[in-house]
Amino acid sequence: MEVSGDVSVNIAKVVARSREAVSKLGHGVAGLMKKHGIRVRQGFAQVLGGGKVAIKQKSGSSTIAAKHIILATGASARPVPGLDEKMLWTARDAMLPKALPKSLLIIGSGAIGIEFASFYSHMGSKVSIVEMQNRILPLEDKAVSEFMQKILQLQGVEILTGGVIPNTHGLGLENTKATLDERGFIVTDDCCRTAEPNLYAIGDVAGPPCLAHKASHEAVMCVEGIATSDGIMKDKPHPFGVHNIPSCIYSIPQVASIGLTEEQARAQGLDVKVGVSHANCSGKAIVSGAIDGFVKVIIDSASGELLGAHMVGEEVTEMINGYVIGKQLEATDLDLLSTIFPHPTLSEMMHEAVLAALGRPLNG
């Protein structure tokens, strides 16, 4: 394929396509709620205590009572004092640009910051990232951070190294026994329960990791717990550990991880085996032209248990699911060693990384 002449980005059509997809998904969810008889009230709610909630709507105010209440108000961008609001974008604003900015300064290099840096850089904007920690993606494995910094810099992104706030304001938590931690997130136990009887909190408002799939899983676990306590269900839901929650970053290349980083494992005094498989040794990656990336695993030397996995590269947000299942089932290096991965696929790097950790790499 050859392209001649000037090529430009029509950002209006890009935004329109994204809104079309969001609208379709939103209508689908609305249809499901209607199908299951869930009543939706649009308005501002405040917890009054004693199982009561006040709702302010355009049509007026009302109070409803419920045996169980779940708070799922999410989190918002933390305000930046001293900056002209006309020049300041939140993540939501960055998803709905009226025009492509010539330059963009991104404060913070977590998942959202890196995704927007990658997107706008590829769209032609001059992008700079400011991160208060000493490296970007500070919650990821150090090898992932260093690799992504090199990739982003090659893409023309300037990186300077050296959040969000929970939506609890106006909820009326002062009318309950629910408490907040030092960062302002609602304190819950491993079943999403607050200190107020029958009051629960899920998702971003209950603290990091601020991930949609973590919030969804908490919602299911929370409702099933309520159903069990009310005698509707017999099987009690099982709480999940924070290290079994996968993280996905949709940058170019993608980033995905689960479990402990190498630094975290060693800081806990664990003796670990580490294996790395590089994309430039993968036949599928070479054919696809996606040789920038790697797969890294951290394995407990004593038990062989998979402690963590970290990936950079094409489609790693899909590949991570294999390790997610393994982590949930407490798989060992021998379990993964004896697993057959199809050829030719990018997922073979997952097997090769385990082989490397055991000192038996096929491509090393």
User: Tell me, what CATH number does 90's domain have?
Assistant: 3.50.50.60
Residues 234 and 265 in one domain: no
Say if 19 falls within a structural domain.
no
- Please report the pLDDT score of residue 236 as a whole number: 74
Under 8 Å CB-to-CB from 271, ≥6 apart: which residues? 300, 301, 302
Q: Which of 162, 186, 209 is the last residue of a domain?
A: 162
Q: Does residue 228 lie in a domain region?
A: yes
Tokens 């008889």 found at = 37
314 and 335 co-located in one domain: yes
Rounded to whole angstroms, how far apart are CA atoms 134 and 125?
Answer: 25
Whole-number CA gyration radius for the chain: 23
Residue in 27, 213, 243, 343 annotated catalytic: 343
Domain for residue 29, yes or no? no
pTM, 2 dp? 0.84
Tell me the per-residue pLDDT of 333-360, one tens digit each, with 9 for 90 and over. 999 999 999 999 999 999 999 999 999 9
CA proximity to 45, closest of 166, 192, 169: 169
One domain for residues 194 and 65: yes
User: Residue 318 to residues 42, 203, 248, 321: CA-CA distances in angstroms?
Assistant: 35, 22, 9, 6
- Pair (199, 271) in one structural domain: no
Same domain, residue pair 258 and 330 = yes
Residues 264 and 148 in one domain: no
310 in a structural domain: yes
Confidence at residue 163, expressed as pLDDT on a 0 to 100 scale? 61
Domain boundary (212, 240, 268) is at 240
Length of the chain: 364
> How far apart are alpha carbons 19 and 16 in whole angstroms?
5
Residue 343 · residue 315 · CB < 8 Å = no
344 in the same domain as 250: yes
3-class DSSP state of 245: coil
Domain that holds residue 236: 43-78+165-240
- To the query of whether residue 122 is one of the catalytic residues in this protein, the response is no
Residues 119 and 104 in one domain: yes
Q: Give yes or no: residues 74 and 97 share one domain.
A: no
Q: Which residues of the chain have pLDDT under 50?
A: none
Same domain, 261 and 343: yes
At position 318, the amino acid (one-letter code) is E
Residue 329 belongs to domain with CATH number: 3.30.390.30
Look at residue 15 and tell me if it is in a domain. Answer: no
Whether residues 63 and 200 share a domain: the answer is yes
- Name the residue among 203, 201, 206, 202 with its Cα closest to residue 181: 206
Give the number of domains in the chain: 3
Q: Tell me: do 339 and 251 sit in the same domain.
A: yes
| Sheet architecture: strand order including 126-131 | 103-107, 126-131, 158-161
Question: Which positions ≥6 away from 154 have C-beta within 8 Å?
Answer: none
In a domain, 153, yes or no: yes
Residue ending a domain, among 162, 187, 221, is 162
Q: Within a domain: residue 31?
A: no
* Residue 235 near residue 317, CB atoms below 8 Å: no
pLDDT in tens, 57-88: 999 999 999 999 999 999 988 777 877 878 89
Is 91 among the domain residues? yes
